[in-house]
Amino acid sequence: MPLDYVVDVVGSDGPAILLLPGGASPSRGFFPGMDRLPGHRIVSLDRPGTGRAASTGPATLTTGADAAAAALRETGCAPAVVLGQSLGGAVAMQLAIDHPDVVSGLVLIDPTPFNDPIVCRQARWLFEALALPTRLPYVGARLDAAIWQSFGSKIPLADDDEAREGWRVLTSVTLATTTRAVRTLAADGAALTDRLRPLGIPMVLLAADRKPGSRIHRAHEQLVQVLGGRIESWPGAIHAEQLHRPEKIVELVRDLAAETASAR
């Protein structure tokens, strides 16, 4: 079946960086500062069922990976370093397994732990519960905005306009759309977990600052043990670290891209 996605490229030469946002959010503006990384081509992708392609669905790990591979080939940007946050990080790993020829390196910001079925089911239940009141007539849209605003009030955003715009981008899709994006996560994650193998490319997984015994922490460690690469975690790092310390994310991507270039 044809893949419906929206892709943009900023820059005309240099190594390519593919951006895969979390949830069902649009890509452009999701990673503050990345569109100005000099000497690189920045590829912003809204995969099926997300962002500007929200009506095309379904937003599964496989359709996301297939769309990403097609977009990189269509734009002549393969192979690329792939930057994925949360659910975008899971799509990035599916991409690296299914289409290794288009991926030269991975930067994963607190990726969804698809290898833990309990966490996957909890994510689906959470978003289904949050989305339920937003379906009410007349007040649903306002409730949707209020729930996102409640989350945003607890996130330590960087004190600049780009980070605030990044939060607006993250919450620009409805909770119902985000719910659809995680609906098949448990099944998709189980299928992908069975196929994991060493990737043999530079990879860094930036984890949020959690207790070592947490399920997500253990799942992240298991991913790196199988795939290779390394885990980093900064004091105070959050799930949406690209909005908390965007300059450090840009630096991390630049360093990984340089490492990738040296390895080729």
- For the stretch 10-25, pLDDT in tens is 987 889 999 999 999 9
| Pairwise pLDDT comparison (81 vs 37), residue with the higher score | 81
Structure tokens given for 103: 């991926």
Q: What is the pLDDT of residue 3?
A: 67
Q: Residue 14 and residue 5: Cα distance in Å, rounded?
A: 24
pLDDT per residue over 179-198, tens digit each?
999 999 999 999 999 999 99
Q: What is the pLDDT of residue 1?
A: 44
**Burial of 210 by CB count in 10 Å (0-12 exposed, 13-18 middle, 19+ buried)?**
middle
Least confident of 1-5, 116-120, 224-228: 1-5
Query: Please, are residues 263 and 111 in contact by the beta-carbon 8 Å criterion?
Result: no
pLDDT tier at 38, thresholds 50, 70, 90: confident
All domains of the chain, ordered by start, with CATH? 6-263 (3.40.50.1820)
Question: If you search the block for the tokens 């089911």, which residue do you land on?
Answer: 121
3-state secondary structure of 124: helix
Residue 84: pLDDT above 90?
yes
pLDDT per residue over 44-53, tens digit each?
999 999 999 9
- Report which DSSP code applies to 190: H
Q: What is the pLDDT of residue 151?
A: 86
Q: What is the pLDDT of residue 262?
A: 80
State the average pLDDT over residues 223-241: 96
What per-residue string of b and e applies to 62-87 under the rule 16 or more CB within 10 Å gives b?
A: bbbbbbbbbbbeebebbbbbbbbbbb
Sign of the dihedral defined by the CA atoms of residues 105, 193, 73, 242, in that order: negative
Query: Please, are residues 118 and 217 in contact by the beta-carbon 8 Å criterion?
Result: no
Tell me the pTM.
0.96
| β partners of residue 17 | 42, 81
Residue 149: pLDDT above 50?
yes
State the average pLDDT over residues 223-244: 96
Query: Please, are residues 205 and 88 in contact by the beta-carbon 8 Å criterion?
Result: no
Residue 154: pLDDT above 80?
yes
State the average pLDDT over residues 94-113: 98
Structure tokens given for 24: 């069902």
Q: Residue 117 and residue 106: Cα distance in Å, rounded?
A: 23
Residue 99: pLDDT above 60?
yes
Select from 62, 44, 26 the least CA-distant residue to 169. 26
Q: Residue 102 and residue 82: Cα distance in Å, rounded?
A: 9
State the average pLDDT over residues 158-168: 94
Residue 89: pLDDT above 80?
yes
Q: How many CA atoms lie within 13 A of 210 on its CB side?
A: 17
State the average pLDDT over residues 106-131: 96
Question: If you search the block for the tokens 């991507």, which residue do you land on?
Answer: 253
Select from 131, 128, 68, 133 the least CA-distant residue to 97. 68
Contacts for 63 with CB less than 8 Å, ≥ 6 apart: 3, 47, 48, 49
Query: Please, are residues 153 and 171 in contact by the beta-carbon 8 Å criterion?
Result: no
